[in-house]
Amino acid sequence: MNCRVVVEAAVPVYDVETEDEAIRIAISKTGEMLNPDLNYVEINMGSRTSPGGEELPPAFIAADEALVALELEMTVFNVEREEHASRIARKEIGQRLTNIPLEVLEVEVIEEEELDEETDDEAEVEPEVSSPDGGEAVGDEGEADDEEEDVLPEFEDLIE
């Protein structure tokens, strides 16, 4: 059985003035801690609600320090039960995110058809071409700029 596990993390951020700045820094900080070992973990903004049910921003700021709620999503393969998947995800993520509290929010069993579709989508990505000396292939310099521009809108979408 394969499962998709969503874990909530409370990431502390220091010397920030706005919620957007705190979220940006928290995502960056978390990405640095997880990469390169867990580069397959997706990092998203978390959601918070007040006791009355009102939607709150994912960052709480007090005295230029913030606590940001992030959701970390990963797929765990070949597990026996959903509980086993949640323990594996907490352990793998928790080893990289020291002193950051984690809580499992959701464990979803992935059907084999969904998994096949995801691997088919990944297989359509063209491989990178390298030159014989092991460096990057010499080509159009605009290609590198296009790749960077493609990454930035996704990051901006996370902030919004």
pTM score, whole prediction: 0.67
* pLDDT (average), residues 47-61: 88
Taking the CB of residue 87, how many other CB atoms lie within 10 A of it?
15
Amino acid at 38: L
Q: 66-119, pLDDT tens digit by residue?
A: 999 999 999 999 998 999 999 999 999 999 998 999 999 999 998 876 656 665
Output the pLDDT for position 5: 95
Ordered by start, the domain boundaries in the chain are 2-113+139-159
Q: How high is the mean pLDDT of the chain?
A: 79
| CATH code for the part of the protein at 2-113+139-159 | 3.30.70
Output the pLDDT for position 12: 95
Output the pLDDT for position 145: 47
